[in-house]
Structure 1
């Protein structure tokens, strides 16, 4: 990670899972997988040790490079589950098809990338709008299995994105324009174009899945406004206020 890279803020919806590689000769080849809301701050903590908030696993092993970060998770729970499965592929039921041991002459770093490539093509992660962002050019490698086309792979040395927290003011009580049931006390979606009334998040998701001919799924990959026709990846639609998630409150 370059020294010019900007730190993400705790006030932003950034949830990332990263891969470290040890640069100390004695421990060369060791890797570490972790979760962070601020990659720049986190790598500094690892390199300063547990006294600065680093992990015990990386403590006293010298310096580490943060080689890549996977981000774009809808919330911290989703990212933490991804982190745990990547750390423990032998225990994750969704990764039972991954070989329990590294291939002959396969490094720990290469094994971590192989597990990652499987995870990005396995449910439920394959439906998320994730970005794999390389942070240091010398570590860049092609994944053994290419991720789904809606996922981005960033190889340039650019600043990590921020996802500002935005939210519309609470709406007045009304009815979902899809199911016609009351919105009071629930979450809803509102497109910023204003052409379509509010709807339940679940109703809107089911509508998008029907348009995509995927009624058996729970979360759509793409979200489409039936009024203005804007089309965006579901995670970004929900995060960037094109589709707002707001709590409906009733007047006292």
Structure 2
């Protein structure tokens, strides 16, 4: 992901399980879990060949892991979760599963996964130094999968950090704990999807904080750093602003980071801390996400803060005109989103086929696990994306296109489906 883009509003890794055959599993990642599940179940274009067998549908997202700081971070985690037998994020002596067979290419063959093995390896990854301080959350949508997780937790003395939150959002219970419709047997029914519809996948949660921050910056009220007390350059630099409604504390990123880590000298990345001015407890990732959106996401900020214009006039004709104008705007935004998604897929293909482009420390691609069919799939995917991008550009008169994020479907020897 280019460094001039903000932290994505949402990106998750997920564990997919067949509701027909619970032994059939799949691991993937996506910025839009409801849309992605519909694709896996054949209700929308897209999906993966491994989940296309009608006899295994419908699939359910048994759990998702959220809170990744970038799409590349999610892809790192996804690959490590799919390949616990060779990933460098798990020490060899800690591995639960080892590679006992080799593929025709000579590389270690991935052992067959089950829900139990995937959850135990998930626990290992969440304890690893690479991921343990990330602001991750686990959301369980299946009660029996959560029971498997709980059983594993009780069987091992090792624990994950308390900053990693666990949520139980089972399909047969609503937020009040009362029983609702049980697991759907038909993919066309909606309960499987509505249980994930409340998860925010856009920047709406940052709107109030962003509006306040822009007001302080636009009117040059930054003042002095709340930590080091040096005068802040108005409108310049990477500054973090307290989101509390009655507080206007502004700090250098480095100063506030050190302030949060004052009792944790051995770490580099903060998790949470208190505002040096109003003492409100703050989550580091929330502060950094708002700052990156404000500094790097001009287009996203404009869409988030823009005020819809209303037309003068009364009666049915004016109402229809307003609705038509709104529909046209939504259609234009939808086309822009599709255009942005096409170019990002090209970025991800470049990352996979040209690993030297990854930032230093991104080690998920160190072990070359691709065979000839993998590379053909990647090349085919790149060709298809180029054709789709050209088609969209022709609709827009050849205008330059942007791109955000898309689901991972790189076919990098995905988790096998157990029959």
Q: Which residue of 1 aligns with 2:95?
A: 98
Q: CA deviation at 1:23?
A: 3.5
> What SS does the corresponding residue of 1:78 show, helix, strand or coil?
helix
Q: Distance in 1 between matches of 2:121 and 2:249?
A: 43
Q: Are residues 16 and 169 of structure 1, via their aligned partners in 2, closer, same or farther at CA, if it must alter by over 3 Å?
A: same
Q: CA deviation at 1:236?
A: 3.5
Q: Distance in 2 between matches of 1:247 and 1:238?
A: 10
Residue 218 (structure 1) aligned to one of 242, 250, 268: 268
Would you say 1:169 and 2:207 are equivalent positions? no
User: 2:140–2:169: 8 Å Cα contact kept in structure 1?
Assistant: yes
Q: CA deviation at 1:111?
A: 0.4
> What SS does the corresponding residue of 2:65 show, helix, strand or coil?
strand
- TM-score after normalising by structure 2: 0.48
Residue 153 (structure 1) aligned to one of 166, 170, 178: 166
Would you say 1:192 and 2:243 are equivalent positions? yes
Q: Distance in 1 between matches of 2:129 and 2:47?
A: 31
Q: Distance in 2 between matches of 1:196 and 1:244?
A: 18
Structure with the higher fraction of residues in strand conformation: 1
Residue 277 (structure 2) aligned to one of 227, 230, 237: 227
Cα offsets for 1:59-99 (capped at 9, x unmatched): 22631221001112233332222112111223321113323
- TM-score after normalising by structure 1: 0.76
User: 1:129–1:151: 8 Å Cα contact kept in structure 2?
Assistant: yes
Structure with the higher fraction of residues in helix conformation: 2
Q: Are residues 245 and 187 of structure 1, via their aligned partners in 2, closer, same or farther at CA, if it must alter by over 3 Å?
A: farther
Q: Which residue of 2 aligns with 1:22?
A: 18
Q: Which residue of 2 aligns with 1:7?
A: none
Q: Which residue of 2 aligns with 1:207?
A: 259
Question: Which segment drifts farther, 139-148 or 58-67?
Answer: 139-148
> What SS does the corresponding residue of 1:94 show, helix, strand or coil?
coil
Q: CA deviation at 1:189?
A: 0.3
Q: Which residue of 1 aligns with 2:374?
A: none
Q: CA deviation at 1:245?
A: 6.4
Question: Which segment drifts farther, 168-177 or 81-90?
Answer: 168-177
Q: Distance in 2 between matches of 1:135 and 1:66?
A: 7
Question: Which segment drifts farther, 125-134 or 229-238?
Answer: 229-238
Across the aligned residues of Structure 1 and Structure 2, the Cα RMSD in angstroms comes to 3.1
Q: CA deviation at 1:37?
A: 1.6
Q: Which residue of 1 aligns with 2:128?
A: 122
Residue 247 (structure 1) aligned to one of 291, 295, 312: 295
Q: Distance in 2 between matches of 1:234 and 1:37?
A: 21
Unaligned runs of 5+ in 1: 1-11
Q: CA deviation at 1:137?
A: 2.3
Aligned residues: 227
